[in-house]
Structure 1
Amino acid sequence: MTGLEKAQAIRQRKNGLRLATLTAYDYPTARLLDEAGVDLLLVGDSLGMVVLGFPDTTQVTMEHMLHHTAAVARAKTKAIVVADLPINSYDTPDIALANAQRLIEAGADAVKLEGGIRQAEKVRAITEARIPVCGHLGMLPQRVLEEGGYRKKGKTPEQSAALLEGANALIEAGVFAIVLESVVAETAAQLTKDIPVPTIGIGSGGATCDGEVAVVTDLLGSYPWFVPPFAQPEADLASSISQAVTAYRGRVQGS
Protein backbone atom coordinates (compact mmCIF):
# COMPACT_ATOMS: atom_id res chain seq x y z
CA MET A 1 0.00 0.00 0.00
CA THR A 2 1.09 3.55 -0.65
CA GLY A 3 1.30 6.11 2.13
CA LEU A 4 -1.91 7.71 0.91
CA GLU A 5 -3.69 4.34 0.94
CA LYS A 6 -2.44 3.60 4.45
CA ALA A 7 -3.59 7.03 5.65
CA GLN A 8 -7.01 6.52 4.12
CA ALA A 9 -7.29 3.14 5.84
CA ILE A 10 -6.49 4.81 9.17
CA ARG A 11 -9.07 7.54 8.56
CA GLN A 12 -11.70 4.89 7.87
CA ARG A 13 -11.13 3.44 11.34
CA LYS A 14 -13.05 6.36 12.88
CA ASN A 15 -15.50 4.87 15.41
CA GLY A 16 -14.22 1.40 14.55
CA LEU A 17 -11.51 -0.85 15.99
CA ARG A 18 -9.31 1.42 18.10
CA LEU A 19 -5.90 2.34 16.72
CA ALA A 20 -2.84 0.96 18.53
CA THR A 21 0.08 3.35 18.02
CA LEU A 22 3.64 3.17 19.33
CA THR A 23 6.78 5.19 18.76
CA ALA A 24 9.72 3.52 17.03
CA TYR A 25 13.21 4.82 16.44
CA ASP A 26 15.18 1.91 14.96
CA TYR A 27 14.89 -1.06 12.60
CA PRO A 28 14.58 -4.01 15.02
CA THR A 29 12.02 -2.29 17.23
CA ALA A 30 9.95 -1.24 14.23
CA ARG A 31 10.03 -4.76 12.85
CA LEU A 32 8.99 -6.32 16.17
CA LEU A 33 6.17 -3.83 16.69
CA ASP A 34 4.90 -4.32 13.17
CA GLU A 35 4.94 -8.10 13.50
CA ALA A 36 2.91 -7.69 16.70
CA GLY A 37 0.19 -5.86 14.74
CA VAL A 38 0.64 -2.19 15.66
CA ASP A 39 -1.41 0.09 13.40
CA LEU A 40 0.77 3.20 13.39
CA LEU A 41 4.49 3.59 14.02
CA LEU A 42 5.43 7.11 15.02
CA VAL A 43 9.03 8.18 14.57
CA GLY A 44 8.55 10.76 17.26
CA ASP A 45 10.82 13.63 18.16
CA SER A 46 10.55 12.10 21.64
CA LEU A 47 13.70 10.32 20.45
CA GLY A 48 15.46 13.47 21.59
CA MET A 49 14.88 12.43 25.19
CA VAL A 50 14.68 8.61 25.19
CA VAL A 51 17.37 7.96 22.56
CA LEU A 52 19.64 11.02 22.37
CA GLY A 53 19.55 12.18 26.00
CA PHE A 54 18.28 15.73 25.46
CA PRO A 55 16.10 17.31 28.18
CA ASP A 56 13.19 17.86 25.77
CA THR A 57 12.31 17.77 22.06
CA THR A 58 13.48 21.29 21.25
CA GLN A 59 17.02 20.19 20.30
CA VAL A 60 15.91 17.59 17.76
CA THR A 61 16.92 18.42 14.17
CA MET A 62 15.83 17.32 10.72
CA GLU A 63 19.05 15.31 10.46
CA HIS A 64 18.08 13.35 13.59
CA MET A 65 14.60 12.71 12.22
CA LEU A 66 15.84 11.66 8.78
CA HIS A 67 18.35 9.22 10.31
CA HIS A 68 15.80 7.49 12.54
CA THR A 69 12.98 7.58 9.98
CA ALA A 70 15.19 5.78 7.47
CA ALA A 71 16.05 3.13 10.06
CA VAL A 72 12.38 2.49 10.87
CA ALA A 73 11.41 2.48 7.20
CA ARG A 74 13.92 -0.29 6.45
CA ALA A 75 11.63 -2.64 8.39
CA LYS A 76 9.16 -2.32 5.46
CA THR A 77 6.19 -2.37 7.80
CA LYS A 78 2.53 -2.97 7.13
CA ALA A 79 1.85 -0.23 9.68
CA ILE A 80 1.83 3.36 8.49
CA VAL A 81 5.11 5.08 9.41
CA VAL A 82 4.49 8.66 10.57
CA ALA A 83 7.52 10.91 11.10
CA ASP A 84 7.51 14.05 13.23
CA LEU A 85 8.51 17.33 11.70
CA PRO A 86 10.86 18.68 14.39
CA ILE A 87 10.85 22.18 15.83
CA ASN A 88 11.63 24.98 13.33
CA SER A 89 11.27 22.62 10.36
CA TYR A 90 7.83 23.96 9.34
CA ASP A 91 8.05 27.68 9.97
CA THR A 92 6.47 28.51 6.60
CA PRO A 93 4.38 26.48 4.13
CA ASP A 94 7.30 26.21 1.69
CA ILE A 95 9.72 25.05 4.40
CA ALA A 96 7.13 22.62 5.77
CA LEU A 97 6.59 21.06 2.35
CA ALA A 98 10.30 20.77 1.61
CA ASN A 99 11.01 19.03 4.91
CA ALA A 100 7.94 16.79 4.62
CA GLN A 101 9.24 15.67 1.24
CA ARG A 102 12.63 14.88 2.81
CA LEU A 103 10.97 12.66 5.42
CA ILE A 104 8.93 10.88 2.74
CA GLU A 105 12.11 10.33 0.71
CA ALA A 106 13.69 8.83 3.85
CA GLY A 107 10.88 6.27 3.95
CA ALA A 108 8.02 7.77 5.97
CA ASP A 109 4.45 7.24 4.78
CA ALA A 110 3.20 10.42 6.45
CA VAL A 111 4.33 13.32 8.62
CA LYS A 112 3.06 14.91 11.83
CA LEU A 113 3.30 18.49 13.07
CA GLU A 114 2.15 20.31 16.19
CA GLY A 115 -0.47 23.03 16.43
CA GLY A 116 -3.86 24.08 15.13
CA ILE A 117 -5.09 27.15 13.29
CA ARG A 118 -1.69 28.72 12.67
CA GLN A 119 -0.45 25.49 11.10
CA ALA A 120 -3.38 24.98 8.72
CA GLU A 121 -1.73 26.60 5.70
CA LYS A 122 1.37 24.48 6.23
CA VAL A 123 -0.74 21.34 6.46
CA ARG A 124 -2.55 22.33 3.28
CA ALA A 125 0.73 22.87 1.42
CA ILE A 126 1.82 19.36 2.36
CA THR A 127 -1.46 17.56 1.68
CA GLU A 128 -1.86 19.29 -1.67
CA ALA A 129 1.44 17.62 -2.59
CA ARG A 130 -0.26 14.27 -1.78
CA ILE A 131 1.68 13.74 1.43
CA PRO A 132 -0.52 12.55 4.33
CA VAL A 133 -0.42 14.64 7.51
CA CYS A 134 -1.34 13.76 11.09
CA GLY A 135 -2.18 16.68 13.35
CA HIS A 136 -1.23 17.16 17.01
CA LEU A 137 -3.24 19.24 19.49
CA GLY A 138 -3.32 19.73 23.24
CA MET A 139 -0.01 19.86 25.00
CA LEU A 140 2.66 20.63 22.41
CA PRO A 141 6.13 19.42 23.51
CA GLN A 142 7.91 21.68 21.04
CA ARG A 143 6.48 24.68 22.92
CA VAL A 144 7.53 23.52 26.38
CA LEU A 145 10.09 26.30 26.78
CA GLU A 146 7.78 29.14 25.77
CA GLU A 147 4.95 27.75 27.91
CA GLY A 148 7.23 27.16 30.89
CA GLY A 149 6.43 23.46 31.31
CA TYR A 150 4.00 20.72 30.40
CA ARG A 151 0.40 21.72 31.09
CA LYS A 152 -2.90 19.86 30.77
CA LYS A 153 -5.17 21.32 28.08
CA GLY A 154 -8.92 21.61 27.67
CA LYS A 155 -9.63 22.52 31.28
CA THR A 156 -12.05 25.36 30.53
CA PRO A 157 -14.85 25.86 28.01
CA GLU A 158 -12.67 28.43 26.25
CA GLN A 159 -9.76 26.01 25.94
CA SER A 160 -12.07 23.27 24.71
CA ALA A 161 -13.56 25.57 22.09
CA ALA A 162 -10.07 26.56 20.93
CA LEU A 163 -9.10 22.91 20.56
CA LEU A 164 -12.20 22.22 18.47
CA GLU A 165 -11.51 25.26 16.32
CA GLY A 166 -7.94 24.09 15.80
CA ALA A 167 -9.08 20.56 14.97
CA ASN A 168 -11.56 21.82 12.38
CA ALA A 169 -8.87 23.98 10.76
CA LEU A 170 -6.56 20.97 10.50
CA ILE A 171 -9.33 18.77 9.11
CA GLU A 172 -10.21 21.37 6.48
CA ALA A 173 -6.50 21.42 5.54
CA GLY A 174 -6.57 17.65 5.03
CA VAL A 175 -5.22 15.77 8.06
CA PHE A 176 -6.14 12.08 8.28
CA ALA A 177 -5.93 11.86 12.10
CA ILE A 178 -5.12 14.03 15.12
CA VAL A 179 -3.05 13.20 18.20
CA LEU A 180 -4.51 14.65 21.41
CA GLU A 181 -1.80 14.97 24.06
CA SER A 182 -2.52 15.70 27.72
CA VAL A 183 -6.08 16.85 27.08
CA VAL A 184 -8.61 16.59 29.91
CA ALA A 185 -10.46 13.30 29.45
CA GLU A 186 -13.92 14.83 29.12
CA THR A 187 -12.68 17.30 26.51
CA ALA A 188 -10.85 14.58 24.59
CA ALA A 189 -14.01 12.46 24.52
CA GLN A 190 -16.10 15.36 23.26
CA LEU A 191 -13.56 16.26 20.57
CA THR A 192 -13.50 12.64 19.46
CA LYS A 193 -17.29 12.72 19.14
CA ASP A 194 -17.35 16.06 17.33
CA ILE A 195 -14.74 15.58 14.59
CA PRO A 196 -14.77 13.22 11.57
CA VAL A 197 -11.16 12.00 11.70
CA PRO A 198 -9.69 9.57 14.26
CA THR A 199 -8.22 10.96 17.45
CA ILE A 200 -5.21 9.26 19.01
CA GLY A 201 -4.76 10.04 22.68
CA ILE A 202 -1.75 10.16 24.96
CA GLY A 203 -2.30 11.24 28.54
CA SER A 204 -5.90 12.10 27.61
CA GLY A 205 -7.83 9.41 29.43
CA GLY A 206 -8.16 5.67 28.97
CA ALA A 207 -10.74 5.17 26.22
CA THR A 208 -11.65 8.71 25.26
CA CYS A 209 -10.13 8.66 21.76
CA ASP A 210 -10.28 6.49 18.64
CA GLY A 211 -6.87 5.10 19.57
CA GLU A 212 -3.87 5.53 21.82
CA VAL A 213 -0.18 6.22 21.33
CA ALA A 214 2.54 5.31 23.80
CA VAL A 215 6.26 5.95 23.80
CA VAL A 216 7.74 2.50 23.29
CA THR A 217 10.31 2.90 26.07
CA ASP A 218 7.47 3.65 28.50
CA LEU A 219 5.60 0.54 27.39
CA LEU A 220 8.67 -1.69 27.64
CA GLY A 221 10.13 -0.18 30.80
CA SER A 222 13.47 0.47 29.14
CA TYR A 223 13.85 4.11 30.23
CA PRO A 224 13.50 4.00 34.02
CA TRP A 225 14.83 7.48 34.78
CA PHE A 226 11.52 9.14 33.94
CA VAL A 227 8.13 7.49 33.51
CA PRO A 228 5.14 9.77 32.79
CA PRO A 229 2.31 9.40 35.32
CA PHE A 230 -0.11 8.23 32.62
CA ALA A 231 2.24 5.52 31.26
CA GLN A 232 1.29 1.86 31.72
CA PRO A 233 4.45 -0.27 31.41
CA GLU A 234 3.89 -3.84 30.21
CA ALA A 235 7.50 -4.98 30.82
CA ASP A 236 10.61 -4.10 32.82
CA LEU A 237 13.39 -4.31 30.26
CA ALA A 238 15.64 -2.02 32.27
CA SER A 239 15.91 -4.63 35.04
CA SER A 240 16.32 -7.46 32.52
CA ILE A 241 19.15 -5.60 30.79
CA SER A 242 20.90 -4.91 34.08
CA GLN A 243 20.61 -8.55 35.11
CA ALA A 244 21.90 -9.79 31.75
CA VAL A 245 24.89 -7.43 31.82
CA THR A 246 25.71 -8.38 35.40
CA ALA A 247 25.61 -12.07 34.45
CA TYR A 248 27.79 -11.41 31.39
CA ARG A 249 30.31 -9.45 33.41
CA GLY A 250 30.46 -12.25 35.95
CA ARG A 251 31.03 -14.83 33.22
CA VAL A 252 33.79 -12.80 31.57
CA GLN A 253 35.50 -11.90 34.83
CA GLY A 254 34.99 -15.30 36.43
CA SER A 255 33.18 -13.94 39.46
Structure 2
Amino acid sequence: MKFSQETLGSSRPSPPTTIMLERDTAYLLLRKSFRDDDSRTGYLGIGKYEITADPGLKQKFFQLAEVLSSRPLPSPRPGRHQNVIRYDFELGGVDHSGVYDLSLGSEFNARLRPFAEIRDELLSRGSPVIGLHPKLQAEASPGAITILLTIINTGRTPLELVGPSGWGRADEGSQATVTVGITSLDGADWLYDLDEEHLVDDRDKYAKVISIHPDQSVRLKFRYPVEERGRLAGKYSVAARMSAIILAPSEFQGVIETGLDSGTLVY
Protein backbone atom coordinates (compact mmCIF):
# COMPACT_ATOMS: atom_id res chain seq x y z
CA MET A 1 0.00 0.00 0.00
CA LYS A 2 1.23 3.46 -0.86
CA PHE A 3 -0.30 6.88 -0.19
CA SER A 4 1.19 10.32 -0.89
CA GLN A 5 0.15 13.87 -0.07
CA GLU A 6 1.16 16.07 -3.00
CA THR A 7 0.55 19.47 -4.59
CA LEU A 8 -0.46 19.80 -8.24
CA GLY A 9 -0.80 22.77 -10.57
CA SER A 10 2.13 24.74 -9.16
CA SER A 11 5.32 25.85 -10.87
CA ARG A 12 7.09 24.93 -7.64
CA PRO A 13 5.12 22.10 -6.03
CA SER A 14 5.72 21.14 -2.42
CA PRO A 15 7.74 17.96 -1.90
CA PRO A 16 5.40 14.99 -1.36
CA THR A 17 4.95 13.09 1.90
CA THR A 18 4.57 9.34 1.36
CA ILE A 19 3.56 6.45 3.62
CA MET A 20 3.88 2.79 2.58
CA LEU A 21 3.07 -0.63 4.00
CA GLU A 22 5.06 -3.56 2.64
CA ARG A 23 4.11 -6.79 4.41
CA ASP A 24 5.10 -6.22 8.05
CA THR A 25 7.11 -3.01 7.54
CA ALA A 26 5.78 0.54 7.32
CA TYR A 27 7.72 3.42 5.79
CA LEU A 28 7.50 7.20 5.81
CA LEU A 29 9.24 9.35 3.19
CA LEU A 30 9.19 12.85 4.63
CA ARG A 31 10.55 15.52 2.31
CA LYS A 32 8.99 18.62 3.85
CA SER A 33 8.41 19.50 7.50
CA PHE A 34 8.58 22.44 9.89
CA ARG A 35 8.14 22.43 13.64
CA ASP A 36 6.28 25.73 13.23
CA ASP A 37 4.27 25.67 10.00
CA ASP A 38 3.33 29.36 10.23
CA SER A 39 6.91 30.64 10.34
CA ARG A 40 8.31 27.66 8.39
CA THR A 41 11.08 27.26 10.96
CA GLY A 42 12.22 24.56 13.39
CA TYR A 43 13.40 21.05 12.54
CA LEU A 44 10.91 18.19 12.76
CA GLY A 45 12.42 15.48 10.56
CA ILE A 46 13.56 14.76 7.00
CA GLY A 47 14.22 11.32 5.52
CA LYS A 48 12.90 7.80 5.14
CA TYR A 49 11.74 6.17 8.37
CA GLU A 50 10.80 2.53 8.90
CA ILE A 51 9.11 0.56 11.62
CA THR A 52 7.78 -2.96 12.13
CA ALA A 53 4.05 -2.51 11.75
CA ASP A 54 2.00 -3.79 14.66
CA PRO A 55 -1.69 -4.73 14.15
CA GLY A 56 -2.85 -1.26 15.18
CA LEU A 57 -0.65 0.49 12.63
CA LYS A 58 -1.64 -1.95 9.89
CA GLN A 59 -5.29 -1.29 10.69
CA LYS A 60 -4.80 2.42 10.06
CA PHE A 61 -3.42 1.66 6.59
CA PHE A 62 -6.44 -0.53 5.85
CA GLN A 63 -8.81 2.15 7.17
CA LEU A 64 -7.28 4.61 4.74
CA ALA A 65 -7.62 2.12 1.89
CA GLU A 66 -11.24 1.40 2.78
CA VAL A 67 -12.14 5.09 2.71
CA LEU A 68 -10.46 5.70 -0.65
CA SER A 69 -12.15 2.65 -2.19
CA SER A 70 -15.59 3.29 -0.69
CA ARG A 71 -16.92 5.43 -3.57
CA PRO A 72 -15.92 6.96 -6.92
CA LEU A 73 -13.50 9.82 -6.33
CA PRO A 74 -13.22 13.03 -8.37
CA SER A 75 -9.97 13.54 -10.25
CA PRO A 76 -7.93 16.76 -10.10
CA ARG A 77 -8.92 19.55 -12.48
CA PRO A 78 -6.18 20.34 -15.02
CA GLY A 79 -4.14 23.47 -14.36
CA ARG A 80 -5.61 24.09 -10.92
CA HIS A 81 -3.41 24.52 -7.84
CA GLN A 82 -4.59 21.89 -5.39
CA ASN A 83 -3.55 19.48 -2.68
CA VAL A 84 -4.19 15.83 -3.49
CA ILE A 85 -3.73 12.31 -2.21
CA ARG A 86 -2.19 9.82 -4.64
CA TYR A 87 -2.93 6.19 -3.79
CA ASP A 88 -1.98 2.72 -4.98
CA PHE A 89 -3.13 -0.38 -3.11
CA GLU A 90 -4.84 -3.75 -3.35
CA LEU A 91 -7.90 -4.43 -1.22
CA GLY A 92 -10.12 -7.49 -1.36
CA GLY A 93 -8.42 -8.73 -4.50
CA VAL A 94 -9.06 -5.46 -6.36
CA ASP A 95 -6.35 -2.99 -7.36
CA HIS A 96 -7.00 0.68 -6.69
CA SER A 97 -4.87 3.55 -7.94
CA GLY A 98 -5.53 7.19 -8.66
CA VAL A 99 -5.41 10.76 -7.40
CA TYR A 100 -8.07 12.29 -5.13
CA ASP A 101 -8.35 16.09 -5.09
CA LEU A 102 -9.94 16.44 -1.61
CA SER A 103 -13.03 18.09 -3.13
CA LEU A 104 -15.68 15.92 -1.43
CA GLY A 105 -15.74 18.14 1.63
CA SER A 106 -14.67 18.11 5.26
CA GLU A 107 -16.89 15.23 6.39
CA PHE A 108 -15.38 12.78 3.90
CA ASN A 109 -11.85 14.18 4.22
CA ALA A 110 -11.97 13.80 8.02
CA ARG A 111 -12.05 10.04 7.42
CA LEU A 112 -8.56 10.36 5.92
CA ARG A 113 -7.14 11.26 9.34
CA PRO A 114 -5.23 7.93 9.56
CA PHE A 115 -2.72 9.39 7.07
CA ALA A 116 -1.57 12.00 9.59
CA GLU A 117 -1.67 9.47 12.43
CA ILE A 118 0.57 7.05 10.51
CA ARG A 119 2.95 9.86 9.57
CA ASP A 120 3.27 11.06 13.15
CA GLU A 121 3.79 7.56 14.55
CA LEU A 122 6.52 6.76 12.05
CA LEU A 123 8.22 10.08 12.68
CA SER A 124 8.22 9.61 16.44
CA ARG A 125 9.07 5.88 16.62
CA GLY A 126 10.58 4.99 13.25
CA SER A 127 14.23 4.33 12.55
CA PRO A 128 15.81 6.55 9.86
CA VAL A 129 16.99 4.55 6.85
CA ILE A 130 17.69 7.92 5.21
CA GLY A 131 18.09 10.91 7.48
CA LEU A 132 19.16 14.53 7.10
CA HIS A 133 19.36 16.96 10.03
CA PRO A 134 20.74 20.45 9.36
CA LYS A 135 21.72 22.65 12.31
CA LEU A 136 22.70 26.29 12.33
CA GLN A 137 24.70 28.53 14.62
CA ALA A 138 25.51 32.23 14.24
CA GLU A 139 28.49 33.96 15.83
CA ALA A 140 29.45 37.63 15.96
CA SER A 141 32.96 38.96 15.50
CA PRO A 142 34.30 42.47 14.81
CA GLY A 143 32.88 43.59 11.49
CA ALA A 144 31.30 40.27 10.56
CA ILE A 145 28.71 37.63 11.29
CA THR A 146 29.80 34.02 10.90
CA ILE A 147 27.13 31.42 10.16
CA LEU A 148 27.95 27.76 10.76
CA LEU A 149 25.76 25.24 8.96
CA THR A 150 26.17 21.63 10.09
CA ILE A 151 24.47 18.92 8.02
CA ILE A 152 24.18 15.57 9.81
CA ASN A 153 23.46 12.23 8.15
CA THR A 154 21.27 10.55 10.79
CA GLY A 155 20.42 7.53 8.62
CA ARG A 156 22.08 4.36 7.40
CA THR A 157 22.48 5.50 3.79
CA PRO A 158 25.14 7.81 2.25
CA LEU A 159 23.79 11.22 1.24
CA GLU A 160 24.70 13.60 -1.56
CA LEU A 161 23.19 17.04 -2.08
CA VAL A 162 23.87 20.06 -4.24
CA GLY A 163 26.49 22.31 -2.63
CA PRO A 164 26.64 26.10 -2.20
CA SER A 165 27.63 26.75 -5.83
CA GLY A 166 24.08 25.71 -6.71
CA TRP A 167 22.35 27.67 -3.94
CA GLY A 168 20.44 30.88 -4.62
CA ARG A 169 17.66 33.06 -3.29
CA ALA A 170 14.16 31.78 -2.63
CA ASP A 171 12.60 35.02 -3.88
CA GLU A 172 14.35 34.49 -7.22
CA GLY A 173 12.94 31.00 -7.66
CA SER A 174 15.99 28.95 -6.68
CA GLN A 175 15.20 25.41 -5.55
CA ALA A 176 18.28 25.12 -3.32
CA THR A 177 18.38 27.83 -0.66
CA VAL A 178 19.39 28.37 2.96
CA THR A 179 17.77 31.52 4.32
CA VAL A 180 18.86 32.83 7.72
CA GLY A 181 16.93 35.53 9.58
CA ILE A 182 18.42 37.51 12.47
CA THR A 183 15.92 39.59 14.44
CA SER A 184 16.42 42.06 17.30
CA LEU A 185 14.10 42.55 20.25
CA ASP A 186 12.81 45.78 18.72
CA GLY A 187 11.89 44.05 15.46
CA ALA A 188 14.81 45.05 13.25
CA ASP A 189 15.96 42.16 11.11
CA TRP A 190 18.59 41.05 8.63
CA LEU A 191 18.24 38.30 6.06
CA TYR A 192 21.09 36.22 4.66
CA ASP A 193 20.98 33.70 1.81
CA LEU A 194 23.96 31.37 2.19
CA ASP A 195 26.00 31.04 -1.01
CA GLU A 196 29.38 30.05 -2.41
CA GLU A 197 30.66 33.63 -2.42
CA HIS A 198 30.58 33.79 1.38
CA LEU A 199 31.78 30.21 2.01
CA VAL A 200 34.99 30.49 4.03
CA ASP A 201 36.49 27.00 4.29
CA ASP A 202 36.56 23.86 2.13
CA ARG A 203 35.24 25.62 -0.96
CA ASP A 204 36.90 23.15 -3.34
CA LYS A 205 35.64 20.18 -1.33
CA TYR A 206 32.00 21.09 -0.79
CA ALA A 207 31.02 23.86 -3.23
CA LYS A 208 29.49 21.62 -5.90
CA VAL A 209 28.42 18.46 -4.07
CA ILE A 210 28.15 17.73 -0.35
CA SER A 211 28.70 14.03 0.42
CA ILE A 212 27.98 12.70 3.91
CA HIS A 213 28.47 9.14 5.16
CA PRO A 214 26.07 7.59 7.71
CA ASP A 215 26.47 8.97 11.24
CA GLN A 216 28.82 11.66 9.91
CA SER A 217 28.39 15.40 9.45
CA VAL A 218 29.72 18.25 7.33
CA ARG A 219 30.18 21.76 8.68
CA LEU A 220 30.17 24.77 6.35
CA LYS A 221 31.29 28.21 7.48
CA PHE A 222 29.96 31.40 5.91
CA ARG A 223 31.08 34.92 6.80
CA TYR A 224 29.16 38.11 6.05
CA PRO A 225 30.59 41.60 6.63
CA VAL A 226 28.61 43.90 8.91
CA GLU A 227 28.79 47.66 8.67
CA GLU A 228 27.60 50.17 11.26
CA ARG A 229 28.45 48.03 14.26
CA GLY A 230 26.35 50.18 16.59
CA ARG A 231 23.17 49.18 14.82
CA LEU A 232 23.79 45.55 15.69
CA ALA A 233 24.58 45.84 19.38
CA GLY A 234 22.47 43.57 21.58
CA LYS A 235 20.86 40.15 21.60
CA TYR A 236 19.17 38.63 18.56
CA SER A 237 17.08 35.59 17.72
CA VAL A 238 18.20 33.45 14.80
CA ALA A 239 15.91 31.30 12.65
CA ALA A 240 16.46 29.57 9.33
CA ARG A 241 14.94 27.32 6.73
CA MET A 242 16.55 25.16 4.07
CA SER A 243 15.50 23.89 0.67
CA ALA A 244 18.00 21.34 -0.66
CA ILE A 245 18.34 19.24 -3.78
CA ILE A 246 19.13 15.63 -2.89
CA LEU A 247 21.24 13.80 -5.48
CA ALA A 248 21.59 10.44 -3.73
CA PRO A 249 20.23 7.98 -2.78
CA SER A 250 18.08 7.67 -5.90
CA GLU A 251 14.84 6.92 -4.03
CA PHE A 252 15.14 10.25 -2.21
CA GLN A 253 16.29 12.40 -5.14
CA GLY A 254 14.67 15.79 -5.52
CA VAL A 255 13.86 18.78 -3.35
CA ILE A 256 13.43 18.69 0.42
CA GLU A 257 12.31 21.58 2.61
CA THR A 258 12.90 21.92 6.34
CA GLY A 259 13.16 24.42 9.11
CA LEU A 260 16.21 24.69 11.34
CA ASP A 261 16.00 25.08 15.10
CA SER A 262 16.24 28.65 16.34
CA GLY A 263 19.11 30.09 18.31
CA THR A 264 20.44 33.39 19.65
CA LEU A 265 23.21 35.78 18.68
CA VAL A 266 24.83 38.34 20.95
CA TYR A 267 26.63 41.16 19.16
TM above 0.5, yes or no, is no
The higher relative CO (CA closer than 8 Å, separation ≥ 6) is in 2
Provide the TM-score with structure 2 as the length reference: 0.25
Which structure's CA Rg is the greater one?
2
More strand by share: 2
More helix by share: 1
Provide the TM-score with structure 1 as the length reference: 0.26
